[in-house]
Structure 1
Amino acid sequence: MQNQNTDTKRFLSTGVQGLDTILAGGLTSDRLYLIEGEPGTDKTTLALQFLQEGLRNGESVIYITLAESQVELRAVAQSHGWNMDGIHVEDIIPNENILHPDNQFTIFHPSEIEMGLTTQRILEAIEKYKPSRVVLDSLSELQLLAESPLRYRRQVLALKQYLAGKGCTTLFLDDRTALSGDLQVRSVAHGVITLELINQDYGSERRRVRIVKYRGIAFRGGTHDYKIVTGGLVVFPRLIAAHTRAYVSNAQLSSGPASLDALTGGGLDEGTSTLISGPPGTGKSSLCAQYVYAATQRGQKAAMFLFEEASNNLLRRSAGLGMDLLSAIDRGMLDIVQIDPAEMAPGEFMQAVTAAEAGGARVIVIDSLNGYLKAMPDERFLATHMHELLTYLGQRGVVTILVGVQTGIIGGAMSSSVDASYIADSVIMLRYFEARGKVRQAISVFKKRLGVHERTIRSFSMSAKGIFVGDVLTNFHGILTGVPTFDDEHCGALLDDEDAC
């Protein structure tokens, strides 16, 4: 028997992308860990990834199964493109002979015989293969064989000490299907990882992982989204902006048109978030595209995440306004990501955005916040998720532009599901208003945390020549109501020449 590892900083990788991050480095070697979750949470897949990682490192690994057959395990591995060669599988499943009347026990209770035989086969497999990584699937079978909580706890404790003494890092899988839902193994295990499966009213189910316990390690708490892809589990660690606090300079991002920059006090500040709000069709997405186009023309990378509009439509519409975003994509200066709202969890979206920042994007557009909130209606605290993301991007010096759609077209009853004061540092408002038989547009800056900005309301229009911010609507009253009053004598100076009185 070898000495158990006493170095709490000697970690083994789980082989699961993102899981080592929330475990603060991986699993302390020579310890026992409990992986618990209801059937369908892919505990088996996680366990096979753990063993596959051991194989890549040249370790001896073993999968001891009390429930699934070797054929079933190989089918799981094949679905992920894995080769089971090198993974020792000890199949301790009662065969069909146990059903024959001659094999029924009469003197001893069946569980007493089966528990002893099961334990013996486990120990023989460990002695034979001398593994450094062990998976035991599943504890529910052991619990049913043990019958009493005391016997079950003693059995688990004995296995824990034996495996640790053999230098084994062990995963015990528990599908929570035993008769009693006690917490015996949680108290014995060095760490506990819980997998959860949450059904949604619409779209795919949500999967979450949580570290319940990890002795001596400052792991990343809370729930973290994960998904199953070909190749195994992928975990999306919960974003904690406080871990990346840094001071960044606040240069300003020009939009291109001088009149628009003047309205915003010189441009949008780096490290801030800006909400462009207004009713449908006022030009919010086009205004975002203007900032993105100006950035790519200066040699800055940008990324756009679209929840509602198709990327092809955005590219065609932008081209009609004189902004060639397609060439920016071809030059590697712009990434446009079309979000499938029914299939993406909040954590996955957060990772996609942070990956864009890590790839060099200095301008990031999220279009729209309404689409983001409606994409995941069963999720709680989505606004908090977004606030954490914006704080993180701000600390990295990224200019983040958000689109917020207001309900209503013209009139005073304009509302939004987004709390602008909580979400954004700056707010640009676009509005429709009716004048002289035509529906016109206006733009104003309602809020800017850094620096000064114009508090005027200006005319706003779009054409093949691009975006145009016009004169201050000085002689109009009630623009924000959508039905203003104005002075006929001066209206010609305030409207476009073709629309003059």
Structure 2
Amino acid sequence: MIKERILIGIPGLDEMIGGGLIKGSTTAIIGTYGTGKTTFALQFLFEGLINGENCIYISLEESEENIYEKITDRGWDLEKYKDKSLFVIKLDPTDFNLSINSIKNDLPDLIKSVDAKRVVIDPISLFEGLFDDQSTRRREMFRFIEMMSNLDCTLLLTSETEQNNNYSSRYGLVEYLSDTVIVLMYIRPSDLSEVHTALEVVKMRRSNHSREIKPYEIQEDKVNVYSEASVF
């Protein structure tokens, strides 16, 4: 059976994952601060917007104004999409009941009502942090991912890395629950010269993918992954 794919919209990365994400799958982008997780997520949504798809961005960290400003700074026509095909929602992670109910109960209804095909939660680690213990966190995250998999959309989650492990998400869960895991990292040469950013596709279910570490660059209006280059 041929798996239908959708492009992330990042040259080089789509080639590394065999021509795009599998439609309806869940992807986790994991990285430390400053590696561009939000930019990757926005690029994923923009690819959907220019192809006529409705998209939802759930922010648990930055305000709606900041997200809209980032979109405008990248030269994208915000007014063409805002509240028409792009819906940005800010949730307060300090309000436990509101955030839990919004993500578990309101989000599925919103996805269905606007027929959203791409959904981003940035960062999912703040949602995970709402649960006091690991067993509850694991159970609730499993239920959430299962719920999302039954909806007609492709989900992208961002997560900070665990403090002492650049390949692990903060709570070590999303990489096991996601179909595709992309890790963003800094590469520091031994001669302490200029620091570079690089990524690795560490996991992709139901698809072949590149296992090489490749450099990437965030430019003013796009992200480029140099799939033919080497970081060493």
Helix, strand or coil at the partner of 2:130: helix
Q: What's the CA shift for 1:157?
A: 2.0
Q: How does 1:189-204 map onto structure 2 within 5 Å?
A: 189-199=178-188, 201-203=192-194
Change (3 A) 1:224 1:61: same
1:236 corresponds in structure 2 to 226
- 1:92–1:118 Cα contact (<8 Å) kept: no
Q: What's the CA shift for 1:43?
A: 1.0
2:172 corresponds in structure 1 to 183
Helix, strand or coil at the partner of 1:175: strand
- 1:111–1:145 Cα contact (<8 Å) kept: yes
2:101 corresponds in structure 1 to 116
Give the Cα–Cα distance (whole angstroms) in 2 for the partners of residues 118 and 178 of structure 1: 26
- 1:65–1:138 Cα contact (<8 Å) kept: yes
1:46 corresponds in structure 2 to 40
1:80 corresponds in structure 2 to 74
Q: What's the CA shift for 1:54?
A: 0.7
Cα-to-partner distance string for 1:164-210 (whole Å, 9 max, x where unaligned): 2211110011023689844222111111011112356333x301010
Change (3 A) 1:235 1:220: same
2:204 corresponds in structure 1 to 214
2:62 corresponds in structure 1 to 68
Cα-to-partner distance string for 1:15-62 (whole Å, 9 max, x where unaligned): 011111100111000011111111211111111111111111111111
- State how many pairs are aligned: 221
Give the Cα–Cα distance (whole angstroms) in 1 for the partners of residues 55 and 212 of structure 2: 31
Among residues 134, 139, 147, which one is paired with 1:149 in the alignment? 134
Identical-residue share of aligned pairs (%): 27
Q: What's the CA shift for 1:127?
A: 3.2
1:170 corresponds in structure 2 to 155
1:23 corresponds in structure 2 to 17
Q: How does 1:403-418 map onto structure 2 within 5 Å?
A: none
Rg (Cα) greater in structure = 1
- 1:142–1:152 Cα contact (<8 Å) kept: no
Helix, strand or coil at the partner of 1:55: helix
Q: What's the CA shift for 1:113?
A: 6.4
- 2:108–2:151 Cα contact (<8 Å) kept: no
Letter in 2 for 1:151: T
Give the Cα–Cα distance (whole angstroms) in 2 for the partners of residues 131 and 75 of structure 1: 22
Give the Cα–Cα distance (whole angstroms) in 2 for the partners of residues 63 and 15 of structure 1: 16
1:137 corresponds in structure 2 to 122
Q: How does 1:284-295 map onto structure 2 within 5 Å?
A: none
Give the Cα–Cα distance (whole angstroms) in 2 for the partners of residues 53 and 9 of structure 1: 19
Q: What is the TM-score with the length of structure 1 in the denominator?
A: 0.41
Letter in 2 for 1:90: I
Letter in 2 for 1:191: T
Give the alignment's Cα RMSD to 1 decimal: 2.4
Q: How does 1:351-366 map onto structure 2 within 5 Å?
A: none
Provide runs of 4+ in structure 1 moved above 3 Å.
110-114, 177-182
Gaps of 5+ in 2: none
Q: What is the TM-score with the length of structure 2 in the denominator?
A: 0.85
- 2:9–2:43 Cα contact (<8 Å) kept: yes
Among residues 13, 16, 27, which one is paired with 1:33 in the alignment? 27
Cα-to-partner distance string for 1:302-359 (whole Å, 9 max, x where unaligned): xxxxxxxxxxxxxxxxxxxxxxxxxxxxxxxxxxxxxxxxxxxxx2xx7xxxxxxxxx
Helix, strand or coil at the partner of 2:186: strand
Change (3 A) 1:8 1:167: farther
Helix, strand or coil at the partner of 1:176: strand
Letter in 2 for 1:190: D
